[in-house]
Each structure stands twice: as structure tokens, then as C-alpha cells.
């Protein structure tokens, strides 16, 4: 399994494990953890595009047209969505943060389990 597949499998699995753990230990925070994990998976998908833009810029010596707009919109969308969720009290901040931890956990796990050359 290559690194990208390992990470894209490990992040949702980490999020599911965190949501299950939250359900078992404090059931009322499980929805917030699940939303945070979903946000982590969505951000990972968007980060794939970000890495592509940055790698293209590094190899060509120049950023592709529109890359600044893409990166700015991604950041504004992430912060805006989190603000919307928290300001409307749709999720708890602690549970959202725990669920979002699926991103670094999944990346670390994916890096450990992928095939090394």
C-alpha cells in the first residue's frame, strides 16, 4: 500500500475510532467528535490539492495561476465552517477538536503502515 492510500484509509478509521471511543465514554460528545472527524477527512481531501499546488510550484519555480486563490479559499472555508458550527452551537468545541485529531493521527498511522521502499 502506498503512502497516499494508507493515509486516506487511516484518517477515516482514526476518526471512527475516536467517535466510537467518545460514544463509549461520553455519549453526548460523540456527534461532535464525528463531525470533527468528518472535517478532518474533508480537509485531508483539500490538502491533497494544496500539496499538488505546492509541489508544482516547487518544481516549476513558479506557482500555477490561481493557486493563491485556491489556498486562500480553502483556509477561509475551513475557518468559516468551524465558526458556523461553533457559533450556532451545533457541536461542542472539545468534541470537534478531538475528532479533528483524526487528521494528524491518521497521517502518522498511514506513514507507519505504508510500504517502505
Mean pLDDT of the 1-16 span = 91
pLDDT at site 3 = 83
- pLDDT tens, residue by residue, 9-45: 999 999 999 999 999 999 999 999 999 999 999 999 9
Q: Which residues contact 107 (CB under 8 A, 6 or more apart)?
A: 7, 10, 11, 44
pLDDT at site 116 = 73
Domain ranges of the chain: 3-113
- pLDDT tens, residue by residue, 58-96: 777 777 777 778 888 888 999 999 999 999 999 999 999
Amino acid at each position: 500500500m502506498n503512502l497516499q492510500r494508507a493515509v486516506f484509509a487511516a484518517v477515516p478509521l482514526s476518526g471512527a475510532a475516536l467517535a466510537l471511543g467518545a460514544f463509549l465514554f461520553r455519549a453526548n460528545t460523540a456527534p461532535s467528535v464525528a463531525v470533527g472527524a468528518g472535517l478532518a477527512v474533508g480537509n485531508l481531501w483539500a490538502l491533497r490539492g494544496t500539496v499538488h499546488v505546492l509541489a508544482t510550484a516547487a518544481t516549476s519555480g513558479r506557482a500555477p495561476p490561481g493557486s493563491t486563490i485556491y489556498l486562500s479559499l480553502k483556509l477561509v472555508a475551513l475557518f468559516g465552517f468551524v465558526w458556523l458550527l461553533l457559533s450556532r452551537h451545533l457541536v461542542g468545541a472539545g468534541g470537534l477538536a478531538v475528532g479533528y485529531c483524526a487528521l494528524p493521527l491518521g497521517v502518522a498511522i498511514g506513514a507507519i503502515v505504508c510500504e517502505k521502499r
